[in-house]
Amino acid sequence: MTIELPNCSLFVKVEGEGEPIIFLHGFPLTHEMWFPQAKFLINNGFKVVTPDLRGFGNSMIEINEWTMDDFADDIICMADKLGIKNFTVVGMSMGGYISFNLIDRYGERIKKAILIATRAQADDEAGKNRRNELIELAKREGKKPIIETFKKILFAPLTWERNIELVSNVSLIMERASLNGIIGSLGAMRDRKDYVNLLEKINFPVLIIHGKSDLTSPISNAELMHQKIRNSKIYFSDIAGHMVNLEDAENVNKAIINFLNS
């Protein structure tokens, strides 16, 4: 279905019955990256909500500047329109940054959180400069070089050797990002707040999932979150990189269902 929100039309899939779980995809991806988790959780009695974030997949937007607040506000507006008051949020990478924004500004709506391949720290100056370089590259040459750049760093070396089909499938998903989505999201990630101080204030259960071969976010980022979030559990995959939920789907699903049922 499509939900009309301020400044954008948000595409969202709502499947299953039970406790609601809202999945927030990474950059530059779509709701399709959650297929293994959505199918599994629907079959285990949960309502699964998987939107395409603004500028990705079927969620259209004309502007190309926004903030993490805007991303989070989209999700709350969506939840309100769907009649969902409280929910578990699952955020991967950029989706994790949006999750922290939700926790910070709408914490009363969050029952549990699952943070996948993400970090609480803001970009340092080098990181901001790299985002700016990618924005300028996208403006000059379009989305293709951005997609190629991320394709190289999303997967563990083992995945390139053993599951090239997964790499190809994710590449097709990334092609569905709009140029506006890429430019706007890079700017929002560049300017996001630092949430390290928020970690110790989180008072609901959190599951942290990370691949040990993540090329974009070292596992030390996940260890920091686990250290500071009092009521947190972890699953660290021995075989996965940044796309841990797809590279190690069976074990990730087991970790998620055990967490949700605990």
For the chain, the domains span 2-260
- The pair of three-digit structure tokens given for residue 205, joined into one six-digit string: 């259960």
Q: Which of 137, 128, 114, 121 is nearest to 244 (CA)?
A: 114
Res 84: pLDDT:
98
Counting every residue written for the chain, the total comes to 262
Q: What are phi and psi of 105, to 5 degrees?
A: -105, -20
Res 118: pLDDT:
98
Is residue 53 within 8 Å of 59, Cβ to Cβ?
yes
| β strands within 62-190, DSSP E | 87-92, 110-116
CATH 1.10.3720.10 for the 2-260 domain, yes or no? no
Q: How far apart are CA 79 and CA 73, in angstroms?
A: 10
Q: How far apart are CA 255 and CA 114, in angstroms?
A: 10
Mean pLDDT by 10 residues, the chain (262 residues): 92 98 98 98 98 97 94 98 98 98 98 98 98 98 96 95 95 96 98 98 98 96 98 97 98 98 93
| β strands within the chain, DSSP E | 2-5, 8-15, 19-24, 46-51, 60-61, 87-92, 110-116, 206-211, 232-237
Res 7: pLDDT:
83
